[in-house]
Chains A and B, each alone.
Chain A
């Protein structure tokens, strides 16, 4: 069974500090992971991805870390900005070409 879990429904962070969003997965057969950001009344938009040949991928203020032995990935946002306030979903791409999403974490960056 392929499951993706985001155990923190919400997170508040001060502007300028680091935001860390976490995600756990159960099936290690599938090795490509994505993070999406979702603003209210909009569809999710792709943010950053990582494949299992790497343990880190960086894009500007956003870095995703993958810990294969723990079946865990995390998204770091440094420095956090008020415009980063959104719901963040992690997803696992399966070999059958489908994307399995977690339940999301609502990030609030306080000015």
Chain B
């Protein structure tokens, strides 16, 4: 498996524009997580899904942020409208719960978002 795949790797956009980040989890994983990395907060959990259903979105900072998982192999994180303070690296991760318990989460390479 190629691992968790995120696109784009880099995104530069103007304030007020819509931004969509994409993620393909590892095949067979039933959990998908969206994290944001900043200097102040480290890796901050935004939202996570189980079997394509959002379980906890309490980390989503504002209504400008939304996430979807239409099927087991694809998820999006959308910011509309974007603001300069949204500039950060966004990571997607997936994991498998399994019968014997959890595994570690596997991360994608991240999307570096810059809002100017």
Contact = CB atoms under 8 A, between A and B. Distances in A.
B50 to A, nearest CB: 7
Scoring A89, A96, A97, A104 by chain B CB atoms within 10 A of each residue's CB, the highest score goes to A97
Interface string A72-100: 00000000000000000101010011111
Interface residues of B, number: 26
Contacts, number: 59
Contact of A43 (B31, B45, B108): B108
Nearest to B105: A99
A65 interface: no
Contacts of A63: none
Given A42-B109, A46-B106, A98 B43 contact: no
A100 B45 contact: yes
19 contacts: A6-B42, A32-B102, A36-B107, A41-B110, A43-B91, A43-B107, A43-B108, A44-B91, A46-B104, A93-B102, A96-B55, A96-B56, A97-B95, A97-B102, A99-B95, A101-B44, A103-B40, A103-B42, A104-B43
